[in-house]
Amino acid sequence: MPKARKRKTPIVAPSSDAATSSRPEVTRSVIREFHVLLKRQTQLGRSGTKDAATASELDRIQQRIQELGGLERYQHMSATGQKDDRGGGSHKIFIGWMKELGLHKREDKGKLKMLEVGALLPDNYQSCSSWIDCRPIDLNSRHPAILQQDFFLLDPLTNQEKWSAISLSLVLNFVPEPKDRGRMLRMAHSMMVQDGHLFIALPLPCVTNSRYLTIEHFKAIMSIIGFKQLKEKWREGGKMVYYLYQKEEPSPAQDGTLFSKKRELRAGPSRNNFAVLLADA
Ligand SMILES: C[S@@+](CC[C@H](N)C(=O)[O-])C[C@H]1O[C@@H](n2cnc3c(N)ncnc32)[C@H](O)[C@@H]1O
């Protein structure tokens, strides 16, 4: 007899309030529950198991996603509920940093080609259209000007060294598997021009309260991939962390297993499990 799986306790109780409230704490709970559901859905899909128990768990997950309002509702909550220190307006930080670097004054080089991954709105960079040529994409486009496109399915050849800037704002934490997060960062690296800029926004606890990731460890991962950290913005007790990286040559890992397998870097009961892993070289 296969052992019965212990069901995870839902992060929020299934109530209509969860799907409709715009209170920040409810928004955060629902977004967290979406992450748990999508991660489990990916794990089950990848396992290739087709037995009745798996099928029924997948059905339950799908049903719960629908109860919460579907992926569209999740995106809407992200777009409307996450402001200022909760993400959402993070493009303003990226714009400010690019201006500090003088990227808005590169007359000789033409407009800066930017790929905005996970775009909820089509016009985040509209105010900079004189110097940024932005291509917004999303898994689930909410506007005709946003290309419905999975980043992982972008053609590696036609995108190789194509983009001067890539934005991954609250996207890495949306990707369910740690190895896929590492793969996303490596893909971004190969798609960027030499010296190109990568912007990353993450919920702060991903790096300050994870069992498997610290600020230093993330910096080391980025350096192995070939990204030099230029800027970092977060504050004690804040909700978000923002990073700006520049593409450079990858630095060789001293010990690849330090980055390809989960290792506990912080102990304690109230940690989260956010991790970024690199595939074995
Ligand atoms: C939390 S929202 C972030 C939205 C916005 N960038 C922000 O900072 O508020 C994450 C978005 O990333 C998108 N996304 C996740 N994985 C993706 C992928 N592989 N390709 C394209 N979009 C992706 C999701 O569809 C979702 O709309």
Interface ipTM = 0.99
**Out of 84-88, 193-197, 236-240, which region has the weakest mean confidence (pLDDT)?**
84-88
Q: What is the pLDDT of residues 169-184, one digit of tens each?
A: 999 999 989 999 999 9
From residue 91, give the alpha-carbon distance in Å to each of 5, 128, 176, 199.
42, 11, 23, 9
Please list, in sequence order, all residues whose beta carbon lies within 8 angstroms of the beta carbon of residue 258, skipping any fewer than 6 positions away: none
Q: What is the pLDDT of residues 99-151, one digit of tens each?
A: 999 999 977 778 999 999 999 999 999 999 999 999 999 998 989 999 999 99
In the reported structure, the alpha carbon of residue 51 is separated from the centroid of ligand 1 by a whole-number distance in angstroms of 31
Cα(125)–Cα(116) distance, integer angstroms: 9
Residues with CB under 6 A from ligand 1: 75, 78, 82, 87-88, 90, 117-118, 120, 137-140, 150-152, 169-171, 174-175, 201
Which CATH code for domain 90-260? 3.40.50.150
Q: What is the pLDDT of residues 42-101, one digit of tens each?
A: 788 877 888 899 999 999 999 999 888 888 787 777 666 544 444 458 999 999 999 999
